[in-house]
Amino acid sequence: MRIGIDARKLHDFGIGTYIRNLLRELAHIDQTTEYVLFCKPGDTEVAAGLGANFRAVPEHSGHYSIAEQITLPLAVRRERLDLFHAPHYVLPALISSRSVVTIHDCIHLMFPEYLSRLGHAYAHASLWTAAHKSDRIFTVSEQSKRDILKFFKVPPEKIVVTPNAIDDRFSVAPSDEHLEQIRERYQLSHAYLLYVGNIKPHKNLERLIEAFHLVRSQGRPELELLIIGDEMSRMQSLRRTVHRLQLHRYVRVLGFVPDTTLAVLYRLASVFVFPSLYEGFGLPPLEAMASGTPVVTSNVSSLPEVVGDAAVLVDPYSPEAIAEGILAVLRSSHLRDDLRERGLNRVKAYSWRRSAERVREVYCEVVQ
């Protein structure tokens, strides 16, 4: 069996995490299938670290380009694949082999106002093609499955839920020395709330900043808010909100940080806050739980499904409700201890190994 996987987003945030963990686990459980990885030219060395049955093929076309609609199908035909896996929603219409696709969420259809007309048209056409052309659809939560069924008339049994999971590094306690190094490097002399992720509008950071202002006004003037994963310069409305509320000394945007640093920042946070309006899955709350950090997150979309009873759920459309959830955790050591225990147990429900095993089962079902 020869399977091709589009690995061009190997180092992306989100999709890249999915690809890296899927490839790593497939390498552990399957040494007989031949895997052909379509990679950016600079990433071709990744195959050598996975095993003798993995081979990289350089793919020069850009994401969301006209070129990928032509060059990927030609590469699939040239490699004589039995199956092609698109781990994102772009599945070129001219792909000749059997195919599976991973649709992580329907964000572009749920919030079309975040895209240009052309961008929305491209996303809708790509999602429609992927949903209808593929032999099977993977998605990462039951909520995402319901969203796909809402927008596309496909049989429910065509969609297979294979949840995301966390990297092991978040479960490993860092040394006291490393904790102190990070504390000093980032000058973490005060308690802080933590948010990890991009700053796209549906991540709801304006309401988070407003909620942070309310929390500080309730007797928590020393508190800081750390935002990790993006640059605020890309979102002028967030900067305006910070300055309007005179929080420029207390809201710190660190951008992207190394994974080892991120694992420590989770552990040092007083509360992890994730008030997103929509997620296909939402990994950061699980990463925080694995780090022993109490979580406050939204009561909408897939987030209640993912976190179960191990987080404080709040109305993400209400800064007051977000603030109340944060204050409840800050004020109660009993609640914090309970959330830590529940969180550490919750993350055990998710496993990249189990998800990869199910993915491989579907590969075999489709090919046979």
Cα–Cα dist 86/94, whole Å = 13
**How far is Cα of residue 169 from the mean position of the Cα atoms in its chain?**
16
Cα–Cα dist 127/279, whole Å = 17
- pLDDT at site 344: 97
Q: 10 Å Cβ neighbour count for 20?
A: 18
CATH top class, domain 168-349: alpha beta
Query: Residue 196 in contact with residue 284, Cβ under 8 Å?
Result: yes
* Partner residues linked to 137 by β-bridges: 101, 159
Same fold, 2-165+351-367 and 168-349: yes
Chain position carrying tokens 């959330």: 339
- Pick from 202, 208, 237: nearest CA to 114: 202
| Average predicted confidence (pLDDT) for the chain | 95
pLDDT one-digit tens code per residue, 254-298: 988 888 999 999 999 999 999 999 999 999 999 999 999 999 999
Mean pLDDT of 138-155: 97
pLDDT one-digit tens code per residue, 32-91: 999 999 999 999 999 999 999 999 999 999 888 889 999 999 999 999 999 999 999 999
- pLDDT at site 64: 84
Mean pLDDT of 209-213: 98
Q: Which of 46-50, 167-171, 197-201, 305-309 has the highest mean pLDDT?
A: 305-309
If pLDDT is split at 50, 70 and 90, which confidence band does 148 have?
very high
- pLDDT at site 61: 92
Cα–Cα dist 94/34, whole Å = 22
Cα–Cα dist 70/67, whole Å = 5
Cα–Cα dist 340/343, whole Å = 5
User: Taking 80 as the threshold, does the pLDDT of residue 328 lie above it?
Assistant: yes
Every domain of the chain and the residues it spans: 2-165+351-367, 168-349
Mean pLDDT of 337-350: 97
Per CATH, domain 2-165+351-367 is 3.40.50.720: no
